[in-house]
Structure 1
């Protein structure tokens, strides 16, 4: 078989069917609501087949795009699942499982390609897998929400805004991280380096998305950092930094931070870093956090290309607005200073409630 020729149709169909069998087994093992009813099971299987077929086509060099019809179908499917009272967590778990199964199938199939094309094709196919799944999940969520809101009436405005921030800062940032890891994976391969950790980082970001969404849709709102603030920031920078030197300093005792403050501060810092990695092309980024018994001050500064901060001051992008709203919600203030060609400096300070003097729980304390 030549490097550019695809497999026989029966071989490609066999790969799809094998992956579908693994996907169905995973849903059964999880006792997913998507396999309890035959009609729901068939619709989930049909979507999975379309996604896997698209990705195999991309792996073998075909030009593929997610069809608009797929979005409309997924939106209608989301509305049906709301009507049938299938929890959104089941749909999200199915998406996560399909990404795992699909990635394994693509990696195995790529072994049959020539060495000079395999890695490039595999990268494109995995990106196609992510795009195919996320497009359908997004459309399905829109349909589910539309059906739900029709039944319960118009949601409270403040709650909608909070949900928008949470979706942007948790789900949006984690998906952005996964895409960033795939971009770095492709760059590492082009440079002849080892890129195995990039796929692992992308999987971790998607697992974090799943974990947060599970707490969100269940109404628990109990998403917490698993490690110290210092460790979480370091973990994020190690996953997405590409050439930039990042210095993180935590001054003070993290035990003074209540869990909710730690989480919110991390989300703001992560958004600052994401903006710097994505837009600034910086060679150095400094993160300084000073924790006192009554307040926390944080500065994130880079030496990147900078921008006109007047737009950010008047509202700016969704990320900048989300940071401001999150800091203001904690009773704090955020300032942005940036100039084209010089760099960007984001500084914010938030007060701590008096009970924090007695300590907040944190398993690891970092001092610098």
Structure 2
């Protein structure tokens, strides 16, 4: 019987594949509009049928062992098969239904219980695959959570190392240079003018390095997900400066944004405002955040001195590059527009639907 079924499938393989392609079009499957994807699915389906033929012909089921090919000889579906995406599930269901129908009709073409048997097998198949997909989704979520925990732990470790090692020696250098620039009463005479200028320049560089290091370690210590983006931004912006007016405007429902997106937006916006306050000397900074079901948009506008892109300070460039990298990691973008004497605008756009589907 097994050999007979194998020969039957072999004779009808092309017909089954033709019916499969027709079913793809009839069900509106995305691959029906893409010749390359349709060919890919067809090649995979032919491989599945060939495996069934091989099982029936060379590995007949025995009562003392479960049917099916041993794991160590199972064919590798290949990279293309693994990357076919979510739409592959209904496509596989189609080929399963077509092969099952052909086999049942061949074994019992006039059997009264044929349609009941087909219905029972299809139900079993769908229940098992649904359970498998649910288990895979749960495992995927667990792995994402473990990855996030590992990342935040590593960020905290890096923050400690930077603070305890580089931060310590920067502080020592800072104190020494302060003594040279402003000697205490009774101390030796001040340095010659040329040397004093050099020390003052080095002192300013060390001070800027300390500010940058402090900002970096603060960002790295963000180990808890942002639960309320508005609350976190209000607290961070209030602590940045008492001389610059910073206004925050938020619209939309924060529930539409996943926690990792809110974390990154918080860091990008905070860095953008810090750049504006430190380098732009503005009187007013306006922060806007708009959250919609499909995307999150934010902007930071300041009325500071602005800059020409070709003469941007190196410290600004590093901060802007970091913001852009954070946005791109979320499949979004961060753009900066500025002109001398006309302030600076930073715009961020993150697609939320892609985050949900990932």
Interval of TM-score (by shorter of Structure 1 and Structure 2) = 0.3 to 0.5
Q: Normalising to structure 2: TM-score of the pair? A: 0.40
Q: Normalising to structure 1: TM-score of the pair? A: 0.39
Bigger RCO (CA 8 Å, 6+ sep): 1
Q: Which has the larger radius of gyration?
A: 2
